[in-house]
Amino acid sequence: MRKPYVAGNWKMNLNRAEATALASAIVKAADHKDIDVGMAPPFVYLDAVAAAAKGSGVHVAAQNCYFEAKGAFTGEVSPQMVLDVGCDTVILGHSERRHVLGETDQMINQKVKASLAAGLKVILCLGETLDEREGGRTNAVCERHVREGLKGVTAAQMASVVLAYEPVWAIGTGKTASPEQAQEVHAFVRPLVSALLGKPVADAVRIQYGGSVKADNTFELMSQPDIDGALVGGAALKADSFLTIVQETRKAKGLA
């Protein structure tokens, strides 16, 4: 069985004291023996959150990074810096990076390759907008995100990659994809990974669902066979709701 993975994407929220308190509460209470748990604070709080998580096994992720190791790239942060500050993971290709900040598939692919080469684990996000879904282009868009995002990534490197299906219309909107809608896309992505990188890789890769995941819809979503965890935004900002999502995931996967 694939080990489920629940990660909190804190986006551009919280201050230093709040981030540290949330991290400490999660590290203290999260039952992560049989499940991966991660938290992705803003860059400026990575240091504090990594210190709170040190030695706990809870993953700390950056929400983005650049693809160069160093140099004249004002405002950017390299994969090496992310590692140096105590993180083991980076989220790449989030829809807010794609649609608000204008990141292209090609840039995201460069970031994926640079991050893996530096020794980071990657959570690669994919997902269609409402227009794309209504225009019948969901599979084509998800296929492009996976194909382009993973270009040049080896089967061996895939052990450090988690995919996150996040339909853009479900992010921060309170509109969750139904478990069936999410499962349908996950069940489309897995054979695609198989075609690109082989069946063992496809069978092993975790595919998280993200988009208005909350304590009360987690069980149903996580009960789907190809949904291996969650990437949680709003509901990850409070320890109670995030910890409940972790527990509900464990229950749905028969671990509790």
Residue closer to ligand PGA, measured from CB, 36 or 201: 36
What is the rounded distance in angstroms from the CA atom of residue 110 to the CA atom of residue 149? 8
> Between 96 and 201, whose beta carbon lies closer to ligand PGA?
96
**Least spacing, CB of residue 17 vs ligand PGA, in Å:** 22
Under the binding rule (CB under 6 A), the answer on residue 40 touching ligand PGA is no
Query: What are phi and psi for residue 24, nearest 5 degrees?
Result: -65, -40
User: Is 4 near ligand PGA (CB under 6 A)?
Assistant: no
Element (H, E) at 162: strand 161-165
Give the contact letters, 120-159, x = binds to ligand PGA (CB under 6 A), - = no: ----------------------------------------
Residue pair 232/242 in contact (Cβ under 8 Å)? The answer is yes
Interface with ligand PGA, residue 103, by CB under 6 A: no
Spatial separation of the C-alpha atoms in residues 59 and 36, rounded to whole Å: 8
166 labelled catalytic: yes
Handedness of CA 69, 70, 71, 73 (dihedral sign): positive
Neighbouring-strand partners of residue 40: 9
Q: Is 232 in the site for ligand PGA (CB under 6 A)?
A: yes
Amino acid at 205: V
Span from 47-55, 67-75, 107-115, 165-173 in contact with ligand PGA (CB under 6 A)? 165-173
Confirm if 57 and 43 have CB atoms less than 8 A apart: no
Q: How far apart are CA 147 and CA 9, in angstroms?
A: 24
Give the x/- contact pattern for ligand PGA in 197-216, rule: CB under 6 A: -------------xxxx---
Q: Which of the following is catalytic: 103, 166, 186, 248?
A: 166
How many residues belong to the site for ligand PGA (CB under 6 A)? 13
Nearer to ligand PGA, 9 or 247 (CB): 9
Q: Which residues contact 182 (CB under 8 A, 6 or more apart)?
A: 165, 167, 209, 221, 224, 227
Does the protein bind ligand PGA through residue 99 (CB under 6 A)? Answer: no
Q: Choose one: 63-71, 109-117, 164-172, 177-185; the region binding ligand PGA (CB under 6 A).
A: 164-172
Q: Does 234 bind ligand PGA (CB under 6 A)?
A: yes
- The answer to whether the CB of 218 falls within 8 A of the CB of 249 is yes
What six digits make up the tokens of 60?
């700390």
Selected catalytic residue, list 32, 94, 145, 186: 94
Is 132 known to be catalytic?
Answer: no
Selection from 231, 186, 195, 190 nearest residue 211 by Cα: 231
Q: Which residues are catalytic?
A: 94, 166
Binding site for ligand PGA (CB under 6 A): 9, 166, 171-172, 210-213, 231-235
